[in-house]
Amino acid sequence: MLNVDKQGRILHPRIALAIRPHIERSQLHKVRGIIVHQTGGATAASSLSSYLQPRANGAHFLIDKDGKIYQTASVNKQTWHVGSLRARCVAEFRCTPAELRVLSRFSPKAENRMELRKQVPARYPTNMDSIGIELVGAAITSKGSDPAEKGVFEVVTVAQNQSLGWLVNELRLTLGVPITEVFRHPVVSRKNPTEAASAQW
Amino acid sequence: MVRSIVAFLMLSISAAGSSDGGSSHRGSSTVRLPPIANITIKENAARAPAATGSDETCTRFVLTKRDVLEFLSHADGIPEHDYYHMLDWSPCYASGEIRFKNGQTATWGIHRYRGGSIKFSDGRVRYLSCPKCGAKAFSSSQ
């Protein structure tokens, strides 16, 4: 179990505090899930720097390529890291006829609205009820001049996966999150499928 | 006509949006593009290398030069984090090159859910989102 202070900071020698208030939003009342991301940028420094900008978006934790863990936001606060939701019933083969009617029109916005009317575990966790963990990792293109749309995320390092496994386990025990509510970002939202594809916990 | 492009295209970053995080970006700053001499389209209805497992078809995602210019003229500049985490990602994209009047060059990419990027020849990357862009190719996915 992790020692969490009243400000939502985790006091542990494996976690460096680098709280960035600009990425913190409203109160996070109950954590129901954990979402694993890759940053898209090549260094921890670039993410930590970007989180200093007014109204920046980010996630609660950042794991560098050498496995160093930074806490970048209070676990008592929401951060915006998820985006629009996919319909969870599709992946779990349990959509109702009404849900299938919405999905048949293929509107990501309508799909997100439908999901936000549900609660976990009927839907995937959102910004409102999840912790986000970022793994430093760039989206690489085969030619340097190619635009970002052609990017494929680089492989997560062994050190990152070791830290991720430890952090996910400790957060789950501390915050009461079932292992079934820990997801890679592209599972819950329409994202580049290679993001965090090699992450393990 | 692309040659008639105004002196500077202004890409302004919009104010933050709703708490569901669906398409919310941090607040204002402005990106300026130099005057454009020419835009070329290299790929249309293309499928991203990362698109393994997606069954989304891309054949209808075809942009014209006019669509590209509209996108570059009206898009909001967004941070890298928001491009990867807040925007929907689509396997369908178009891409090409831009030559600026100052001699600089860049590659551009635009995907089906109105996100895009410009990579300048010096390595700088600008990430873009244009929720208000109305090209037919975008509406075919909504």
| Residues in a beta bridge with B110 | B94, B116
Task: Determine, for residues B141 and A84 on separate chains, whether the beta-carbon distance falls below 8 Å.
Answer: no
A37 touches chain B (CB under 8 A): yes
Query: What are the DSSP calls for B88-121, one per residue?
Result: ---SEEEEEEEEETTS-EEEEEEETTSEEEEEET
The shortest C-alpha distance from A53 to chain B (Å) reads 9
Residues in A closer than 8 angstroms to B142, CB to CB, are: 107-109
Residue B22 confidence (pLDDT): 42
Q: What is the pTM of this model?
A: 0.89
Q: What is the ipTM of this complex?
A: 0.87
Q: Given a cut of 80, is residue A187 above it in pLDDT?
A: yes
Q: Among A97-106, A113-122, A123-132, name the one with the lowest average pLDDT.
A: A97-106
Task: Determine, for residues A146 and B84 on separate chains, whether the beta-carbon distance falls below 8 Å.
Answer: no
Tokens standing for residue A49: 């720097």
Task: Determine, for residues B89 and A190 on separate chains, whether the beta-carbon distance falls below 8 Å.
Answer: yes
Residue A155's contacts (CB-CB under 8 Å, 6 or more residues apart) are A137, A198
Q: CA B80, CA B66: separation in Å to the nearest integer?
A: 26
Tens-place pLDDT, residues B74-111: 899 999 999 999 999 999 999 999 999 999 999 999 99
Residue pairs spanning A and B at CB distance below 8 A: 147
Tens-place pLDDT, residues B116-142: 999 999 889 999 999 889 898 987 654
Q: CA A128, CA A138: separation in Å to the nearest integer?
A: 26
DSSP 8-class letter at A4? B
